C-alpha cells in the first residue's frame, strides 16, 4: 500500500481545485453570450498577466499560471465545439 505524503495530498487538492475552476468557469462561459465571453477572456488574460511582483522563480510563475491555463483550455474546447457545430 502506498503511503500518502503531504505532496500527494497537496497534489490531489490542487487537481481538485483545478477541476472545480474548469467546471464552474466552463459552465458560466458556455451559458454566456458573446459580449460576456469577451469580458471573461479579457479579464482572464488581465489577471494572468499580473502575478505577484515578488515572485522571481520560473516555478512560481508557472504554478500561478496553471489555473488560468486550465480554464483557457476549457474555453478553447467550448469555442471549437461550437464552431464545429455551426459548420455542420
List, for residues 62-73, the tens digit of each pLDDT value: 889 999 999 999
Q: Does pTM surpass 0.75? A: yes
How far apart are the two ends of the chain, measured CA to CA in Å?
A: 50
Which pLDDT band, with edges at 50, 70 and 90, does 5 fall under?
A: low
Find where cell 474555453 sits.
Answer: 75
Sign of CA dihedral 33, 79, 86, 28: negative
Mean pLDDT, residues 48-67 taken together: 88
Which pLDDT band, with edges at 50, 70 and 90, does 55 fall under?
A: confident
DSSP category for residue 86: H
CA atoms of 82 and 13, how far apart (whole Å): 31
- pLDDT for residue 19: 95
Amino acid at each position: 500500500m502506498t503511503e500518502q505524503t503531504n505532496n500527494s495530498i497537496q497534489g490531489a487538492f490542487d487537481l481538485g481545485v483545478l477541476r472545480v475552476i474548469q467546471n464552474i468557469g466552463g459552465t458560466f462561459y458556455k451559458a454566456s453570450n458573446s459580449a460576456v465571453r469577451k469580458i471573461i477572456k479579457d479579464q482572464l488574460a488581465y489577471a494572468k498577466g499580473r502575478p505577484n511582483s515578488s515572485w522571481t522563480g520560473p516555478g512560481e510563475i508557472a504554478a500561478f499560471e496553471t489555473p488560468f491555463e486550465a480554464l483557457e483550455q476549457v474555453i478553447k474546447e467550448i469555442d471549437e465545439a461550437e464552431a464545429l457545430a455551426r459548420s455542420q
